[in-house]
Each structure stands twice: as C-alpha cells, then as structure tokens.
C-alpha cells in the first residue's frame, strides 16, 4: 500500500506543475522525488518503516482509516521501470 498521506497534486499555494507530483498531506508540502519512492513503497522501501514524517503522524493515519479515510492516493504515480 502507498502512504495514506500521499496525494498527487498539480498545484498548492503559489506552486504549480504541468504533471501532478507527490504531495505529503502530513507535511503540507510537495515531496522530493526520492521520498516519493518511500511514499509509494517502491523497491524495498516502506513508508511506515522508512519515513520519519509518517512515523511522526502514524496515529493520525490510523485515526483517519478508522473514520473511513482514503487508503489510496487520489492519483496513482507512474511506477519506476
């Protein structure tokens, strides 16, 4: 599963992009491309093990799921080949 805090957005505040990019709703910021690998649990990465931002907000993620929050990102990322 991908990180429950991951969304793909084309704009936020005064930042906009032609192609939707990984956005961390816990940190309220676009994420670095390498961090997007963690968000998407690519390769041997796991957001709940490797991402300090997720670990700091894990309780909120659990509460969001219990309240019926989305588990999947709004837009899927392209997978690295």
Partner 1 sequence: MTYDDYLAGEPVIVTAALTGGVHGKEANPNLPESPDEIGRAAAAAEAAGAAVVHVHAREPNGERSFATERFQAVDDAIREHADDVVIQHSTGGTAAPDDVRHQPLRTDPPPEMASLDMGPLNRYDHLTSENTRALVDSLLAEMRERGVKPELEVFNDGHLNEVHGLLERADVADPPYATLIFGGGTLTPPRPENLLHAIRNLPEGATFNTLGFGRHQLPFATLGILLGGHVRVGLEDNVYYRRGELAESNAQLVQRVVDVAETLGRPVATPDQAREILGL
Residues in touch with partner 1 (CB under 8 A): 8, 15, 17, 19-22, 29-38, 42-45, 49-52, 77-78, 80-81
Q: Do residues 30 and 12 make contact, with C-beta atoms less than 8 angstroms apart?
A: yes
Q: Shortest gap between Cβ of 13 and partner 1 (angstroms)?
A: 12
DSSP β-bridge partners for residue 11: 16
Q: Which is nearer to partner 1, 15 or 65 (CB)?
A: 15
**Residue 72 CB contacts under 8 Å (≥ 6 apart), including other chains:** 1, 2
**Residue placing its CB nearer to partner 1 in the complex, 4 or 8:** 8
């Amino acid at each position: 599963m991908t990180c429950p805090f991951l969304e793909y957005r084309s704009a936020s505040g005064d930042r906009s992009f032609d192609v939707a990019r990984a956005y961390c709703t816990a940190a309220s910021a676009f994420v670095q491309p390498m961090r997007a690998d963690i968000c998407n649990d690519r390769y041997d990465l796991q957001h709940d093990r490797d991402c300090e931002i997720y670990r700091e907000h894990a309780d909120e993620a659990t509460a969001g799921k219990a309240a019926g929050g989305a588990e999947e990102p709004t837009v899927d990322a392209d997978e690295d080949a």
